[in-house]
Amino acid sequence: MVAGAAAGLAVAQAGPGITGLGPVRAVAFRRLAGHGDPGHVALTFDDGPDPDCTPDFLRVLSDRGVTATFFLLGTMTARAPELAAEIAAAGHEVGVHGWEHRYLPARGPWAASADLTRAVEVIGEVTGARPRFFRPPYGVLSGPGLLAARRLGLTPVLWGAWGKEWAAGATGATVRQNLLRDLDGGVTILLHDSDAAMPRAGAARAGLAAVPALLDECERRGLRVGPLGEHGV
């Protein structure tokens, strides 16, 4: 009985992490994967705001007349509140990526709830916009994380295409190839506007270099690009 109860708790804690597997998510959890309007592509960025990189992303998007969703970390927001406010003032949507970039299944119910609550409060206060969407660090959910998100009125959204800027040897060209491999109407794209949680320096710059080509390809295919709030998830 004790063993069964322990197993049940383990499943409740870490079981939702299976949605972190891209193929599983794409087939069985399309809404969680951010599949939306077939004529639209949701462009999202994780891990900022970062004074070293985020302003350059904002300039590129402004030049192209495109808005996106920025999943902010609470710690980064607290360090650069003016930049977080600038993101929202530019018309971009702000989401929550947690207070710290830590693996959710390794955190208990109290820690997961405190992390998300603190992040929502700080991001909302700094940007003047209460976040609607939540993306867990590393794209891995947990039972307590899902419960905390529901209590805070957050919708979890992962992604269907990503640049893999963190990979060894990644360049603007490889990021572009990764994105175009899975680019389709209704997809949610993941890039990063910070190296803060990346395994190597310069990763975000590789993603930045791919953004113009990505937007060109979306335009060529007649796909609108914008934030999750316009994506219908």
Catalytic (active-site) positions: 46, 192
d(CA 117, CA 127): 16
And the tokens for 215?
């937007």
Burial class (CB in 10 A: 0-12, 13-18, 19+), 160: buried
The full length of the chain comes to: 233
Count, in order, helices (H) and strands (E) of the chain: 9, 8
How many alpha carbons lie under 13 Å from residue 52 in its C-beta half-sphere?
Answer: 11
